[in-house]
Chain A
Amino acid sequence: GPLCDITKPGNQRCSPNELFIAGVIKQERFPAFEKVLWRLFHGNFVLRHAEMQATEELQAVRGAVKKDVFIIFVQGDHVREKIRKVCEGFRASLYSCPKTLYEPKQMSTSVMTQMEDLRMILRRTEEYRAGVLTRAAEHVQEWGSKVKKMKAIYYTLNLCNIDITQKLIVAEIWCPVSDLTLVQSALIKGSEQSGSSVTPVLNRIQTQQTPPTFNRTNTFTEGFQAIIDAYGVGTYQEINPASYTIVTFPFLFAVMFGDCGHGLVMTLFAVWVTSQAESLRKWKNELTDVVIGGRYIILLMGMFSIYTGLIYNDCFSKSFNIFGSSWCVLSMFHPHGPWQNETLHEYHHLQLNPFVPGVYSGDPYVFGIDPVWNIASNKLSFLNSFKMKMSVILGVSHMLFGVALSLVNFDIFLQFVPQLIFMLSLFGYLIFLILYKWCITLRSETAPSILLLFINMMLFDYQSEHVLLYRGQVWIHAPLKAVLYSWLFRKDHFICFLLQVSMGDIFVYQAIHTIEFCLGCISNTASYLRLWALSLAHAELSEVLWRMVLQVGLKISSGMGSLMLVVLFAAFAVLTVTVLLIMEGLSAFLHALRLHWVEFQNKFYEGSGYKFTPLSFDSLLKTQQ
């Protein structure tokens, strides 16, 4: 049993005629304790004390606190009570001391047995707890997902109404029209499985609210739909640009990325991710989820990059000569051409003249850029001109396509036709000039610049010294300008005539809108020049990487060359992947996306809808894990 605490009143085991009081007190308090007792009782008591031997166990439990055990022999109840109060004040613990020799031994054995029992109970409890937790841990994942599902179901049910009889639920739902029979059969199946007697009723009702937007996607198209929805979910029943984005987005990316070596690496990576998609999902990293979600986008981007890489004739910054170059350097020498042996020693740079017979075969290279340009020092001035004009052509075509789509959306002839006429007369003519200049043969010293041509057209400047690009140019320019300027005023007159309102208001509004559209068109076309800029940056980075890393190893002709080549190739590969594939890839991705979101979609897309989000356990469990 527990030790008798004498300070507790009403304890049956302690008799009032106890001869002594025994207890334990902290050693540092003992002198003060003794002094107080002497002052109070003037020596009418006997006090003996001894230092307690601290056992290892006690030290572990209580710390290195020194305690003294004391015993006070005293007569008289009042005095005893006072002494007990003093002991309380000094926080000494009092214990009843057994009178015979046998009792302490008995007490200590009983205390020991108690301790053993408690220890065993603790151990057993801990083992039991560990067992319960381990068994529960096997199920906790399952329980967690069950709880999530149940929560989601109850949340969805809470969105419904209870009808008057309190027995049925009335739910107003959005549902795709083509799926109505599917929903009906699912309701019936559900009611059969739960064994209810009432069959659910599905009615179609009219509403003024705008329904949510639902675009059916499969695993291939959902990536492209996601990047369109990231900018704005389409308004209800609006045309969905995602289907065209499947082709135009990877294509514009590839125009900026154009390298068939890098494209091949990207394609192989995407093929690997696609084949391993399920096992890669287990990594549950946010970055890998993004890559897995966009695996088909990356695959298409890689495939299109191989195509544009073949057109730019660029593979890790080197060109392929598959079909035979159309340029022949040998024909520049005697007897065909002007060069002699001394010419080579005199000049550092020599230019091939296509008008010397035999230098240019007359037929352009079959597919893509001629490989001779890869080793020409004026490669960039040729490629820049080519890429810039290509960007303008692609940009104007893309935007014209966007304007054409707006016809499907709004079919307002007042807006669509004037926009189209403006764009075609200005930018369409520019594209015609570019294509025409590419097709005819010109001497480079006397070739007219398209830019100057355009400026002169706008300024009505026709000095006879200027070389015209084609005969009858003057006669084409005049009506074009007439069309352009007249477009500015046509809309206003028409609208005023229709609405019979004051000219001033409409005029101002139309003027603002006109200026906005004009400037917008020009700035958007200029924005497409990023296709040129990024492709130039990629080509130059690729060339610098080859020249500064791999070429160093190739140029060592001794035996050590192969070892250096091994090391340098590893560096080349790592830098290609990190700088050219990841960094440039992300950059080109971003710019292609911007071109779609801003320059293309502002011609027709409203994007002010909200998405149709039915309750789906898959997406619920995926997002919360």
Chain B
Amino acid sequence: MASLLFCGPKLAACGLVLSIWGVIMLAMLGIFFTTHSAVLIEDVPFTEKDMEDGPTALQNIYKLYNQVGYNCFIAAAIYVGIGFLSFCQIHLNKRKEYLVH
């Protein structure tokens, strides 16, 4: 049980704060990408080929938007995991404090 604790209280607290920020921000970015916000056009990895004249040009761009959006959601999910891990570390650290040495 002791080996499950691998970081101190401060690192775990930083990890928790970072994870909460990451979850909120990446989730919102994911939402904005999947709703095809124009402001984020420069973050979408489109190429000249995608913008060629044709019936599917717009759909190509939208598909890329959705891909980036899903990436953001997956990253947010990973941060949920990291946050849970940090929370456990904080809990274990607190418990260690109360143990009599």
Q: Which residues of A contact B (CB under 8 A)?
A: 265, 316, 318-321, 341, 371, 374-375, 547, 550-551, 554-557, 561-563, 565-566, 569-570, 573
Q: Are A375 and B39 in contact (CB under 8 A)?
A: yes
Q: Are A321 and B71 in contact (CB under 8 A)?
A: no
- Complex: chain A residue closest to B71, CB-CB: A561
List B contacts of A556 (CB < 8 A).
45, 71
List B contacts of A375 (CB < 8 A).
38-39, 41-42
Q: Are B53 and A341 in contact (CB under 8 A)?
A: yes
**Known contacts A562-B75, A573-B21; is-contact A557 B64 (Cβ 8 Å):** yes
Q: Are B67 and A557 in contact (CB under 8 A)?
A: yes
Main secondary structure of the interface of B (DSSP, over half): helix
**Known contacts A565-B75, A566-B75, A569-B26; is-contact A371 B39 (Cβ 8 Å):** yes
Q: How far is the CA of A570 from the CA of B44 in the complex (A)?
A: 20
- State which residues 48-101 of B face A: CB under 8 Å: 53, 64, 67-68, 71-72, 74-75, 78-79, 82
Min distance, Cβ A232 to any Cβ of chain B, angstroms: 39
Q: How far is the CA of A98 from the CA of B64 in the complex (A)?
A: 109
Name 29 A/B residue pairs within 8 A (Cβ), A-sorted: A265-B21, A320-B39, A321-B37, A321-B39, A375-B39, A551-B42, A551-B43, A554-B29, A554-B43, A554-B44, A554-B45, A554-B68, A554-B72, A555-B43, A555-B44, A555-B45, A555-B68, A557-B71, A561-B71, A562-B72, A562-B75, A565-B72, A566-B75, A566-B78, A566-B82, A569-B26, A570-B22, A573-B18, A573-B22
B3-40, CB under 8 A of A: which get 1 and which 0?
Answer: 00000000000000010011001100100000001111
Which of B64, B68, B75 sits near A569, CB closer than 8 Å?
Answer: B75
- Complex: chain A residue closest to B81, CB-CB: A566
Q: Are A319 and B39 in contact (CB under 8 A)?
A: yes
**Known contacts A375-B38, A561-B68, A562-B78; is-contact A569 B22 (Cβ 8 Å):** yes
Min distance, Cβ A47 to any Cβ of chain B, angstroms: 65
Q: Are B40 and A318 in contact (CB under 8 A)?
A: yes
- Complex: chain A residue closest to B72, CB-CB: A565
Min distance, Cβ A324 to any Cβ of chain B, angstroms: 11
Q: How far is the CA of A319 from the CA of B41 in the complex (A)?
A: 12
Min distance, Cβ A352 to any Cβ of chain B, angstroms: 14
Q: Determine the interface band of chain B, counting residues with CB < 8 A from chain A.
A: 20 to 34
List B contacts of A557 (CB < 8 A).
45, 64, 67-68, 71
List A contacts of B78 (CB < 8 A).
562-563, 566
List A contacts of B72 (CB < 8 A).
554, 562, 565
- Complex: chain B residue closest to A547, CB-CB: B42
List B contacts of A265 (CB < 8 A).
21
- Complex: chain B residue closest to A546, CB-CB: B43
- How many residue pairs link A and B with beta carbons under 8 A? The number is 67
Q: Are A562 and B71 in contact (CB under 8 A)?
A: yes
Q: Which of A320, A551, A561 has the most CB of B within 10 A?
A: A561
Q: How far is the CA of A569 from the CA of B78 in the complex (A)?
A: 12
Min distance, Cβ B29 to any Cβ of chain A, angstroms: 8
Known: A375-B38, A556-B45. 5 other contacts (CB 8 A): A321-B38, A375-B39, A555-B68, A570-B18, A573-B21
Min distance, Cβ A151 to any Cβ of chain B, angstroms: 37
Q: How far is the CA of A494 from the CA of B47 in the complex (A)?
A: 76
List A contacts of B18 (CB < 8 A).
570, 573
List A contacts of B42 (CB < 8 A).
375, 547, 551
Q: How far is the CA of A265 from the CA of B41 in the complex (A)?
A: 25
**Known contacts A554-B71, A557-B68, A557-B71; is-contact A566 B79 (Cβ 8 Å):** yes
Q: How far is the CA of A554 from the CA of B75 in the complex (A)?
A: 11
List A contacts of B71 (CB < 8 A).
554, 556-557, 561-562, 565
List B contacts of A554 (CB < 8 A).
29, 43-45, 68, 71-72
Min distance, Cβ B40 to any Cβ of chain A, angstroms: 7
Min distance, Cβ A265 to any Cβ of chain B, angstroms: 8
Min distance, Cβ A384 to any Cβ of chain B, angstroms: 21
Q: How far is the CA of A129 from the CA of B26 in the complex (A)?
A: 63
List B contacts of A561 (CB < 8 A).
67-68, 71
Min distance, Cβ B83 to any Cβ of chain A, angstroms: 12
List B contacts of A371 (CB < 8 A).
39
List A contacts of B74 (CB < 8 A).
562
- Complex: chain B residue closest to A272, CB-CB: B17
List A contacts of B25 (CB < 8 A).
316, 569
Min distance, Cβ A588 to any Cβ of chain B, angstroms: 22
- Complex: chain A residue closest to B32, CB-CB: A318
- Complex: chain B residue closest to A341, CB-CB: B53
List B contacts of A573 (CB < 8 A).
18, 21-22
List A contacts of B37 (CB < 8 A).
321
Q: How far is the CA of A569 from the CA of B39 in the complex (A)?
A: 19
List A contacts of B26 (CB < 8 A).
565, 569
Q: Are B75 and A318 in contact (CB under 8 A)?
A: no
Q: Are A318 and B39 in contact (CB under 8 A)?
A: yes
**Known contacts A557-B64, A569-B26, A570-B22; is-contact A374 B39 (Cβ 8 Å):** yes
7 tightest Cβ-Cβ pairs between the two chains A and B: A562-B74, A565-B75, A555-B45, A561-B71, A554-B43, A562-B75, A562-B71
Q: How far is the CA of A320 from the CA of B31 in the complex (A)?
A: 13
Q: How far is the CA of A498 from the CA of B74 in the complex (A)?
A: 82
Min distance, Cβ A93 to any Cβ of chain B, angstroms: 52
Q: How far is the CA of A360 from the CA of B29 in the complex (A)?
A: 28
